[in-house]
Each structure stands twice: as structure tokens, then as C-alpha cells.
Amino acid sequence: MSESAVRVEHLSFRYPGGPDVLTDISFTIAPGEIIGLVGPSGAGKSTLLQHLNGLLPSKLPEFVGQVCIDNIPVARQTIAEVRRRVGFLFQDPDDQLFCPTVFEDVAFGPLNLGLSDDEVRQRVRDSLTSVGLADYEPRSTLRLSLGERKRVCLAGVFACQPSVLALDEPFSSLDPRARRKLIAILKQFSGSQIIATHDLDIVVDLCHQVLLLDGGQLRAAGQTRDILGNVALMERHGLEVPWRLRPK
Amino acid sequence: MSDFLDRFGRGQSMCHRWPPFVKLFAAVAMILAATCAPITHGPLVGIVACVIFFAHTLARIPLRYVGRRLLFFWPTLFLMAISLPLSQAGQKGWLLFVTILVRGTLSFSTALWLVNVMPFDQLLATLRRLRVPDVLLAILSLMYRFLFVLWDELDRMRTARSARLFRKPSLWETWRSAAHLVGRLLIRALDRADRIHGAMLARSWNGRTRWIEPRREDQR
């Protein structure tokens, strides 16, 4: 079996009583690879990301197919290991920051992993330093800017030392400076990443490959410039060719 | 909005410098005194009120700030208390009404003093050291964290509604749209609770919560 960080095979899913959200999705992500997940709103991007972390129960009859992280199939018995390996960044940082202080929030994951107190403190320090918020430990999570909140969320994810990052709209509503900081942080991460975003210029900058999702189906997959530079394909799926790939 | 209840929590007054346990026990003592003092003993209730007033002054919490928060609290308290004279005829009902109003006001003022001399995270850490059950602490922590998020959400919805109001609404319309807002907020709150639960699971939460202090040298 070839080495893959993420392998999704014939994944189909619908919420109970609802229409199909994902239909027969298959793809793989190699270790260290950065994948952009693009598509119009309601394409199923967030649902697909949630499957990577086992947040949608695979035992439902609405679930068909298989998702593997580092060749471990996502299942009830492996869910703890899968969640240790996949760091999930939610679109709205207020959903992810649920502790009163930055320290407690970043420590939440490592504490659940059963690490010793000293190890937890070290991981909190390291991950906050890696996102440029070294002295934020005692700060209240209520009194942070949106950019800071996103970075604290990312520190909380880094503190679990995942091998795969699943990021749901990480750049939405960020000002250019906060966006640049976040891009720089993501570029330093050595593991695999899958980034669902509408910001296609950042996809060109960051991602090696692109998956184009529309109506719950994988419509195209390939090299970033080949997919995002294809005017006809982009227009067919309600997207625009990013500025950097437009013909001069 | 996030500092509505504890704007002065990180002040530098004498009260702020007291050890957390002293602040917590002082607050509990004041609340006990407020709830135990018989309402018919005016001077005793007056002394308790003076002590609470003095505590606010000592902590440099402006009385105007306390008064404004009380204005938010009184309608709820009033609604709770008014049921007594309505259900119990005679002087006894009204005495209970006054008792609830006075005790509620004094207890609320004391709680306000506590969260303004001790930041909420410090309060939670102190309660944790006193071995208050984890579930209760988690509920308190989430409530404090998301009360303001939901309040901001309500505020945004109210602003959006006002932006589309082109005339002064009638009382009936005001109540009707307020009911819609509250219903919508409830649905949003449920959705958010779902997402927060997902975020907790994504970071390996298994139903048990473990806590540690930031640094050993910070423990007081």
C-alpha cells in the first residue's frame, strides 16, 4: 500500500433525511502536500473536512466509503488516534475558543491526550510562540482581535502535534496583515494540509494541488495552476480565475 | 460587550491584591449576611448594605457602573418577586416581595463586586482548588465565554432589524419582532452548541475535563 497522509475512497454522505451532500468522492494527499479545496458555497467542502476528523459518524447508514488517515481507517475504534493526527481549524474561531483564557484553550487538546502537566505547559508555550503570540497565555479569549483568535485556534491545533491540518475557511474576514501572518505560519507547517477556501489567490500561493467540489461531487483534481487557470472549468462551477493566473 | 460584567476585574486596588480565597470568602460572607439578615431589622440590613457599598468603593468600582447593571437585573427580580403578593394576600405577601428585592439586590451587588475584583478565570481556578465539581466549572466557563458571543449576535440581529425599519413600529410589532429575534437566537445558539461540541471532539475530548495552572510560580 502506497504511503498517503489522507486517503478518501468512494465517500458518499447525506445528513439523515436530507439530500446527498457528498457523492462518490475519492482522492489522496501525500505526506507534506498542501491541497486546496475549492468550490461554490454549499458544495460540501466543510462536510468533507469534517469526515477527515471523524466528526460525522461513519456508522450512519447515510455514510458510504472509507476515509483513512496515515493508513488508519476512520472508525469508532480508531477515532481517538485519528483526531490526534488530524488538526481541525473551524471557520468561526468563536466555535473553537471555548475556554476563558488563551492558556487553557491551547492546553485543552494536550490535556485530553493525557500528557503530563509539564509537557502540556511546554506544548502551549511552543505552539503560541510558533503563531507569534508567545506572551498571550494569560489573556482572555474574549478580548482578542479576529486575527489573534484565529492564530490562537491554530496554536490549539498545533499543540496536539497533528500530521494533517484540515482548515475550514481560515482566511475569511481577515485583514491583509492578519492574512499574511497566517499564510506564513501555514507555510512553516511540515505536515499535510487541506484548505477549504474561497480565496483562490492564496490557493495559488500555498497549494500544490486543488480539488474542485461542486454539488457534492469532485469535478476536477490536479495541479493548482491547471485547475484554477482553466477559465471554462472555473466559470462552469461558479468560480473566477484568480488575479495571478489571469492572462495579461 | 465582553467586559459588561467584569470591566474592573484586572484593576490594582487593595481588594484586587487580596489573595483569591480571601476575596471569595468575603463575597460568600457578604451574600450570607445579606440573605440571613431579617428584613424587619432595618439597621442590620442597612449595615450589610453599607459594607457592600464600602467594598465597592474600596475596589474603586464606580457606583454608576453597579447601578446600570442593577437596572438590567431588577426587571427579572421584580417579575420573580411580584408573584408573591399576587398569590399571598395581605401584608405577608408584600413583606416577602420586599425581602426578595432587597436580598436579590444585595446579593447581585456582591457577586458583581467579586467578578470585578477577581477576573473570571481566576475565580474558576480558585473554585477548582476548592474541588468544586468539574462539570459545574465547565458549565460556568462555557456560560461566561458564550454569553457575550450570543449577546453580540443578538445585537447584530437587532441592528439588522433596525436598518430595515422605516417607521416607528407599534407595540404589537415590537413584541412580535422581539419574539422572532429570541426564537432565531435560540436556533443559532443550538447550532453553535453543536459546533462547539464538534470543536471539543476534534481536540480529543472524551467527556472528562482536566485542568492545569499556567505556571507553578503563578499559583497563589
CATH number of the CATH domain containing A177: 3.40.50.300
Evaluate whether residue A168 is within a structural domain. yes
Residue A183: pLDDT above 60? yes
A142 vs B contacts (CB less than 8 Å): 2-3, 145, 148
Residues B140 and B69 in one domain: no
CA–CA distance, A109 with A156 (Å, rounded to integer): 7
Evaluate whether residue B2 is within a structural domain. no
Residues B97 and B119 in one domain: yes
Residues B109 and B198 in one domain: no
CA–CA distance, A182 with A149 (Å, rounded to integer): 11
A90 vs B contacts (CB less than 8 Å): 195, 198-199, 202
Question: What is the CA A248 to chain-centroid distance, rounded?
Answer: 32
Contact assignment for A97 to B145 by CB distance below 8 Å: yes
Evaluate whether residue A198 is within a structural domain. yes
In tens, the pLDDT along B7-22 reads: 777 778 888 888 888 9
Spell out the residues 6+ positions from residue B121 whose beta carbon is closer than 8 angstroms to its own.
Answer: A100, A101, A104, A138, A140
In tens, the pLDDT along A128-157 reads: 999 999 999 989 888 889 889 999 999 999
Evaluate whether residue B8 is within a structural domain. no
Question: Residue A39 — pLDDT band, cuts 50, 70, 90?
Answer: very high
Contact assignment for A94 to B149 by CB distance below 8 Å: yes
Question: Residue B50 — pLDDT band, cuts 50, 70, 90?
Answer: very high
Per the structure, the complete domain to which residue B30 belongs is given by: 14-127
B124 vs A contacts (CB less than 8 Å): 100
Nearest CA in chain A to B193: A95
Q: What is the DSSP letter of A165?
A: E
- Chain A interface residues facing chain B, Cβ-Cβ under 8 Å? 50, 53, 55, 80, 83-84, 86-88, 90, 92, 94-101, 103-104, 107-109, 111-113, 117, 120-121, 124, 137-138, 140-143, 156-157, 160
Best probe of the A interface among B122, B123, B197, B203, by most A CBs < 10 A, is: B203
- Chain B interface residues facing chain A, Cβ-Cβ under 8 Å? 2-3, 119-121, 124, 141-142, 144-146, 148-149, 192, 195-196, 198-206, 210-212, 214-215
Looking at residue B220, its pLDDT comes to: 40
What are the beta bridge partners of residue A165? Answer: A87, A193
Q: Collapsing DSSP states into helix, strand and coil, what is residue A51?
A: helix
Contact assignment for A95 to B195 by CB distance below 8 Å: yes
Cell of A107: 492546553
- The number of beta carbons lying within 10 Å of the beta carbon of residue B77 is 17
What pTM did the predictor assign? 0.80
A92 vs B contacts (CB less than 8 Å): 195
Q: Where are the beta strands (DSSP E) in chain A?
A: 6-14, 20-29, 34-38, 64-69, 72-73, 86-89, 164-168, 192-196, 209-214, 217-223
Residues B47 and B142 in one domain: no
CA–CA distance, A172 with A41 (Å, rounded to integer): 13
Residues B85 and B150 in one domain: no
Which candidate, A43, A39, A155, A167, places its Cα nearest to that of A97? A155
Evaluate whether residue B42 is within a structural domain. yes
**Domain boundary pick from B92, B108, B127:** B127
Residues B113 and B154 in one domain: no
Residues B112 and B48 in one domain: yes
Looking at residue B1, its pLDDT comes to: 57
Evaluate whether residue B101 is within a structural domain. yes
Residues B146 and B105 in one domain: no
Residues B145 and B121 in one domain: no
Contact assignment for B2 to A160 by CB distance below 8 Å: no
Contact assignment for B210 to A112 by CB distance below 8 Å: yes
Evaluate whether residue B151 is within a structural domain. yes
Give the number of domains in chain A: 1
Residue B216: pLDDT above 70? no
In tens, the pLDDT along B62-110 reads: 888 888 888 888 988 888 888 877 777 777 778 888 888 999 999 999 9
Of B120, B149, B214, the CB nearest to A100: B120
Residue A87: pLDDT above 80? yes
A109 vs B contacts (CB less than 8 Å): 203-204
Query: Rounded to a whole number, what is the distance in Å from the CA of B1 to chain A's nearest CA?
Result: 9
Evaluate whether residue A124 is within a structural domain. no
Residue A246: pLDDT above 90? no
Of B149, B198, B204, the CB nearest to A160: B204
A83 vs B contacts (CB less than 8 Å): 201-204
**Domain boundary pick from B127, B150, B178:** B127
Host H or E run for residue A49: helix A45-52
Evaluate whether residue A52 is within a structural domain. yes
CA–CA distance, A133 with A114 (Å, rounded to integer): 24
Residues B138 and B157 in one domain: yes
Residue B217: pLDDT above 70? no
**ipTM for this prediction:** 0.82
Nearest CA in chain B to A166: B202
Looking at residue B37, its pLDDT comes to: 83
Give the number of domains in chain B: 2
Evaluate whether residue A53 is within a structural domain. yes
Of B196, B205, B212, the CB nearest to A112: B205
Evaluate whether residue A45 is within a structural domain. yes
Q: Where are the beta strands (DSSP E) in A53-148?
A: 64-69, 72-73, 86-89
In tens, the pLDDT along B102-150 reads: 999 999 999 999 988 988 888 888 888 888 888 888 888 888 888 888 8
In tens, the pLDDT along A88-128 reads: 999 999 888 988 889 999 999 999 898 999 999 999 999 99
Residues B119 and B149 in one domain: no
Per the structure, the complete domain to which residue A179 belongs is given by: 6-95+162-245
Evaluate whether residue B176 is within a structural domain. yes
